[in-house]
Amino acid sequence: MNKVNLSEIEENERLSPKGKYQRFVKDISVALGRERYSLDLTKRHPFDLALTRIPKGKSLCPYHSHGAETELYLVVSGRGAIRDRDGTTEVTAGDAFLFGPGEAHQLTNAGEDDFVYYVIADNPRCDSCYYPDSGKFAVAKEGPEYAIVKAEEADYFLDEE
C-alpha cells in the first residue's frame, strides 16, 4: 500500500504574469507514485487527486472546458464562485460538484479566506482545453507542456485537396 500524509506533500504555486490567476496545489496522486507524464497506464493511476487552494481575490484559471476530462470537486473551506454556462453559483464547505467533457467552468475565490477544495480528475493524457472567452485552445503535445493556439473556424477540407 502506498501512503502519504498531506503535511509531507509539497505545495506548488502557479501565478499568472499579471496576478489575476493564482493557485497552490498539493498533487496527492503524484506523491503516491503517479508518473505525471507517462503514457504507460500502469504508471498513471485511473484518476488523480489534488488539494487546491485559491487565495482571496484570485481565480484558478481562465474560463475553460476540457475535451475529454471529467473533474469532481469537494469544497473543504472558504467560499467559491463557480462560473458555468448558466451563470455563477456560490459554493461552501461540504458542497460537491462535477464538470464533464465540454462543460466550461471557472473557479474563483469569493470570500475573505482561502478557497480550498479537493479535485478528482480522470486526466486523460490527450486532453485539450477550449477557452470560450478568448477563443484559444490548449492542445496536448509531446512532453508536459501544451501548445496554446488561437484559431478561427475553418472548413474541414481547407488546404487538404
pLDDT tens-place string over residues 81-105: 999 999 999 999 999 999 999 999 9
What length is written for the chain? Answer: 161
Angle made by CA atoms 126, 106, 30, in degrees to the nearest 5: 50
Candidate CATH numbers 2.60.120.10, 3.40.50.20, 2.60.40.60, 2.70.98.40; the one for domain 6-125: 2.60.120.10
What does the pLDDT read at residue 44? 77
- Grid coordinates representing 146 are 501544451
What does the pLDDT read at residue 142? 67
Residues in the chain with pLDDT values less than 50: none
What does the pLDDT read at residue 31? 95
Q: Structure pTM? A: 0.89
What does the pLDDT read at residue 89? 98
What does the pLDDT read at residue 60? 97
